[in-house]
Structure 1
């Protein structure tokens, strides 16, 4: 049966931790490179704490350049500057390792090596500053001020609605201009017309009828129309 803790919950067996071979190898290689750089700096006249600061400076520049290369690659930005400083720090570290392999007399260091060691702080400071302030390309550009014309195009003001033209009015119905004629006046006019026919043998005309009746021309026309045979 599985083991349980005092509260009754099953316990998980813990495996013993094993040292990571890659990590151990990295620590050993870093320590040896650190010691070689210290020895070269001390042989070039940088004694005391300064000799210990040189390997720290070289390794930090190497790590910073490597991290900057990975960041620039991830964003798709060019990494030529980071590669340059990575190669510079790697050359300084590798050169110190090779120089301490017996190819260089550390008791009589040449002048050119003393110059390189003495000038390294300025080179490392310059490289570290450039790496720290190199843009990674992930900063989003701030939106530029949008002109009013763009907003006018996106949200135009509504055009005034023109009402449709009114429908044409129907022409008024024609109104008869003939005045009303009383029936008594019509009968009187008929007697006048009959009398005129009896005396002259011709039908009475409108002008004679108007003169005999003493009416207006419009009323005379209306009476003449009533006297016409159907």
Structure 2
């Protein structure tokens, strides 16, 4: 069984070296500013953790002012320590303003980490239904063709009116069947639901038939059929 070969990643080695140098610079600056013992070692950990937390927030939830703000603060703190320990600052005589910044960093890092961990991500609102689109074409109902009658109209024969008793005995004619429902395309019903939902979200009331007919640009009988399906 062949042993797995150990491959050295140049990028990973470079990241470890850079992280170790930045860690040492932050420790030296904190120690020079009066933070001795374990406190000087805690400052590099705090800066690097805040930098990683802000970058992770940017990667998972997308760009935001909160994440970019704390990412830049941690980056300036890390770069400032690297530049300050490069010989531009006398570590034996650290100015008072730098001591104040180093002493105030724990509270600042705690507030930044808390906001990054407990602030909810921004949610994008749902896109409203398009208003610029023209009315959906509606199939026109096919009218019945009139029957063609050739020749002169026949003269109706006289009909005898039955007596009162005979009229009462005649069977009652059955009621005429209701007119068939108007066919409504499924796409038009879906579009009408979006229009009704947008109207209710903006006004707080259900859309009426006249407003629905004006928004869709359909005839009155078709608007009544669509409104009946939206109930």
TM-score when scaled to structure 1? Answer: 0.53
Match of 1:95 among 67, 80, 93: 80
* Matched position secondary structure for 1:135: coil
Alignment of 1:130-169 (within 5 A): 130-137=115-122, 169=169
How big is each residue's C-alpha offset from its partner over 1:195-228, in whole Å with a ceiling of 9 and x where there is no partner? xxxxxxxxxxxxxxxxxxxxxxxxxxxxxxxxxx
Q: Post-superposition shift, 1:170? A: 2.2
Q: Post-superposition shift, 1:84? A: 0.3
How big is each residue's C-alpha offset from its partner over 1:159-196, in whole Å with a ceiling of 9 and x where there is no partner? xxxxxxxx96329xxxxxxxxxxxxxxxxxxxxxxxxx
Alpha-carbon distance change, 112 to 168 in structure 1, aligned in 2, over 3 angstroms = farther
Match of 1:71 among 48, 60, 72: 60
- The match for 1:26 is 15
Q: Post-superposition shift, 1:27? A: 0.7
Q: What is the number of equivalent residue pairs in this alignment? A: 128
* Matched position secondary structure for 2:169: coil
Q: For structure 1, which runs of at least 5 residues remain unmatched after alignment?
A: 1-10, 139-166, 172-230
Is the contact between residue 57 and residue 124 of structure 1 (CA under 8 Å) also seen in structure 2?
yes
Q: Cα RMSD (Å) of the superposition?
A: 1.9
Aligned equivalents of 2:61, 2:64: Cα separation in 1: 6
Aligned equivalents of 1:50, 1:57: Cα separation in 2: 11
Is the contact between residue 44 and residue 117 of structure 1 (CA under 8 Å) also seen in structure 2?
yes
- The match for 2:104 is 119
Aligned equivalents of 1:14, 1:106: Cα separation in 2: 50
TM-score when scaled to structure 2? Answer: 0.52
How big is each residue's C-alpha offset from its partner over 1:17-56, in whole Å with a ceiling of 9 and x where there is no partner? 2111111111110010000000000000000000000000
Alpha-carbon distance change, 83 to 168 in structure 1, aligned in 2, over 3 angstroms = farther
Aligned equivalents of 2:113, 2:168: Cα separation in 1: 88
Alignment of 1:2-41 (within 5 A): 13-41=2-30
* Matched position secondary structure for 1:39: helix
How big is each residue's C-alpha offset from its partner over 1:130-159, in whole Å with a ceiling of 9 and x where there is no partner? 000121357xxxxxxxxxxxxxxxxxxxxx
- The match for 2:65 is 80
- The match for 2:114 is 129
Is the contact between residue 71 and residue 136 of structure 1 (CA under 8 Å) also seen in structure 2?
no
Aligned equivalents of 2:110, 2:42: Cα separation in 1: 13
* Structure 1 segments (4+ residues) deviating >2 Å: 167-171
